[in-house]
Chain A
Amino acid sequence: MSTAAILKKNSKLFLPVLSMSIFLSIWQVLHWIIGGEFLPSPYQVYLEAMRMFSIKIGGNSVWMHIYYSLRRVILAYLLGAATGLPLGMYMGWNRTFDKVVKPVFEVLRPIPPIAWIPIAILWFGIGEGPKIFICYVGAFVIFVLNSYTGMRYTDPLLIAAARTYGATRRQQLFNVAIPASMPSVFAGVQNALSMSWMCVLAAELVGAREGVGYLIIQGMDMYKPPMIMVGMIIIGIIGASLAVILRRFERVVCPWRRDLT
């Protein structure tokens, strides 16, 4: 076997390593060019990470900060799914209900969830409330939109067929329309999670005493770029892992979607 063939065969193993090393070397070179304080080298960031994981920041260990952020996201996400999915589906199913809810929803929809932060703080104080609320808004809108779209674009032929075979309206909804809308719903499931993850960050940046957003704001206040970067890496890793976990879950729940990788 030639070298090229070996490389090709092991590309799954080889490419990530290659890409990481390219990335790290570019980073290192940039560090040499820009220098010092501003852009710490990967090694400095590594040292900072070791330091941060061994001490308490703002009274909590890094693991606790991660736990706080995750708890907020997951709570808000589940709440968003529990309310957004039924609402979106019913809006897609029932024309009258759609007409009733649509105007209010359409006025609120274009407002980015992050713009809710100030009013959420007025409403819920500065505790867990506003953070969960912001993440909830972010997830909720995406859940509604995707389940609505999924429902509206259900092939009318399927519904007509069910009706021809004498299915009641209820059966048409639960046995035909909802399963048919699942692919679109699951597209939303993924987006809603990354949206909530982004929202929790924003909420924690604006005002919090714990969470990963607090970590990077703390780094900024102490003028420590390495600390910010460690925080950003943690955020990136958690965001990516959440996406991977969800994709696994999606493959279990929606086994007919084989195009998912």
Chain B
Amino acid sequence: MENVCKLPLIPREPTPYITHLKAAAKDNTISIISFLAFLIAWELVCRLGIIGPYQLVPPSQLVSTFIMKLTQANPDGGTLFAHTKASLIVALTGFGSAVLIGVPLGLFMGWYKPVDIMVTPIFDAVRPIPPIAWIPLAIIWLGIGLPAKAFIIWLAAFVPCVINSYTGIKLTNPVLTRVAEIYGASRWEAFYKVGVPSAIPMVFTGLKLSLNASWTTLVAAELLAASEGLGYLIQMGRRLSMPDIIIVGMLTIGFTGAMMSWGLNLIEARFASSKRVNL
């Protein structure tokens, strides 16, 4: 039996820091090279006329369009900054109000049976309809201004907020709740001292999904009916057959969305540290 267990002992020397740095640099070189190759291929495809100028523009032209759009309102009536600001105001209005109403509602639904019975049917009936399908109705109800868009975004953000808060608090370990109650906590005290803290991670998952949904829906709403905003910008780019405007707009949408998610992640790291979660 002895020779069966003869595994070679692998010497474990600590990797020198410089090796680590070198490896990191090498990893990133591949990424940088591939990204540059992508840009060059794109540039060539456009320069050689394989794809026409009304369909795609080379990255070099994107850069100049981007710089131009920072200061000029032509041809769509607003600088890039103005459009971004308009979109952000609408998105954050809808998202903020959805969080303020949705998270408490979801928590109460999960905790108090009567609320659950009252609200769940309405919620279940409305949920399978994507928020985008509300756009025509919202336009009829509220016109094409801020209220209609805020309403649609509110709907889009509301659903994930409620679902995740609801699930989060439903998953509260019953032992913890019972301990709290044995020690004389009222139902309400158990709710906000045990239920809510244990639901926090799920709530944050919900917030992230909500933020994503509201940004997506905002773009849809602005494509359909708007006079400013990033969705409007790319729609104008299409009307004018200017792919450079569209692509600059798309990249700005993507970048702004990513920045907002990043901000939310920071907040999550700050307020939902794992210490508090693992009750």
Q: Are A112 and B253 in contact (CB under 8 A)?
A: yes
Q: Determine the chain B residues whose CB is within 8 A of the CB of A198 once the complex forms.
A: 130, 132
Q: Are B128 and A110 in contact (CB under 8 A)?
A: no
Q: Determine the chain A residues whose CB is within 8 A of the CB of B112 once the complex forms.
A: none
How near does chain B come to A6, taking the closest CB pair, in angstroms?
17
Q: Are B136 and A239 in contact (CB under 8 A)?
A: no
Q: Are B141 and A22 in contact (CB under 8 A)?
A: no
Partner of A237, one of B128, B231, B238, B246: B128
Does chain A have a CB within 8 A of B90? no
Q: Are B34 and A232 in contact (CB under 8 A)?
A: no
Q: Are B27 and A110 in contact (CB under 8 A)?
A: no
- Bound-state CA distance A107–B241 (Å) is 23
Q: Determine the chain B residues whose CB is within 8 A of the CB of A216 once the complex forms.
A: 133, 136-137
Q: Looking across the interface, which residue of chain B has its beta carbon closest to that of A216?
A: B136
Q: Are B254 and A118 in contact (CB under 8 A)?
A: no
Q: Are B133 and A235 in contact (CB under 8 A)?
A: yes
How near does chain A come to B225, taking the closest CB pair, in angstroms?
10
Q: How big is the A interface, by class?
A: 35 or more
Contact status of A103 and B137, CB under 8 A, knowing A19-B121, A112-B253, A236-B128: no
Q: Determine the chain B residues whose CB is within 8 A of the CB of A38 once the complex forms.
A: 140-141
> 6 interchain pairs (CB within 8 A)?
A112-B257, A116-B250, A117-B234, A118-B223, A119-B250, A220-B139
A positions within 8 Å CB-CB of B:
18-20, 22-23, 26, 38, 96, 99-104, 107-119, 121-123, 194, 197-198, 201-202, 205-206, 213, 216-217, 219-220, 223, 225, 228-229, 231-233, 235-237, 239-240, 243
- 6 new A-B contacts at CB < 8 Å, known A112-B253, A118-B237, A201-B130: A110-B255, A111-B253, A228-B140, A232-B137, A240-B128, A243-B128
